[in-house]
Structure 1
Amino acid sequence: MTPSSAVSVLVVDDQRPFRLAARAVVRRAPGFVLAGEAESGEAGVAAAETLRPDLVLMDVNLPGIDGVAAGSRIRDFDPSTVVVLVSTYGETDLPAMVAQSGMDYLHKADLAPGVLRDLWERRAPGSAAH
């Protein structure tokens, strides 16, 4: 991504209401654009291979392969992709595999344009925190 281009976002979640909510957040976030959506881990990996998004919002619990495995596969073929795992789990209830994945975590209720921007600025390739 160049500074003048929008951050492309792929949303991967099996629940349509969350995909709709995430789509609305991405559209309201200046500098972000929705690249696509997927409903399963496998479909998310395939979409990421095709679309090459900058950022992926990935549900932890998905049909087929879970979000942690799917996110790891995406980062295997494109390490610059920022994968953020999302769920309704509280931080203290997260499965150990999520905490150990090295991916960011965001509670679904906290997704907002400003939070999306903060996540990107903290984890984007070339950022000081990356």
Structure 2
Amino acid sequence: MTDVRVLIVDDQEPFRQAMAAVVEATAGFRVAGTAVTGEEALAAASELAPDLVLLDVNLPGISGIEAACSLTSSGASPVVVLLSTYDEDEFDISGSGATAYVAKAAFGPDRLAEIWGAAGRAR
């Protein structure tokens, strides 16, 4: 069985490092790449074909919500999870195609595995 390949997108290095640590600490998951902007996320997803994209809502350039819409518009799209330091009710993620919204403070190995299983992509 192959590992779930994860693309991490956040404009803040500490959060990218923290998310990468969670991914690497979760059995069956590995970091496929990272990006800083929404535009970089789209290019990286096209190149790397990740299974899962962890996407910050607030990004320079196009927002994470806009990037999620683009990422999930194709038939073979990755699972997209939006993350932020803000409460979920501060954003309208409906129609974004994202599988879930997770507060960064609540993101950990158990939550990552739970989201993947809920997306129906469990290994």
**Could you state the TM-score of these two structures normalised by the residue count of structure 2?**
0.91
2:41 maps to amino acid: G
| In 2: Cα distance, 1:125 partner to 1:113 partner | 16
Task: From the superposition, tell whether residues 17 and 79 of structure 1 become closer, same or farther in structure 2 (CA, over 3 Å).
Answer: same
**Superposition map of 1:16-31 within 5 A:** 16-31=13-28
| In 1: Cα distance, 2:10 partner to 2:17 partner | 10
> Number of matched residues?
122
Residue 88 of structure 2: aligned partner: 91
**Superposition map of 1:31-46 within 5 A:** 31-46=28-43
SS at match of 2:42: helix
Question: Percent of counterpart pairs with the same letter?
Answer: 46
| In 1: Cα distance, 2:110 partner to 2:121 partner | 19
Select which of 108, 111, 115 maps to 1:115: 111
Q: CA RMSD in A?
A: 1.7
2:111 maps to amino acid: V
**Superposition map of 1:65-80 within 5 A:** 65-80=62-77
Q: Which runs of 5+ in 2 are unaligned?
A: none
Q: Contact 1:80–1:125 (CA<8 Å) still a contact in 2?
A: no
Q: Deviations over 1:75-112 (max 9, x none)?
A: 123544100000011123x222x244241100001110
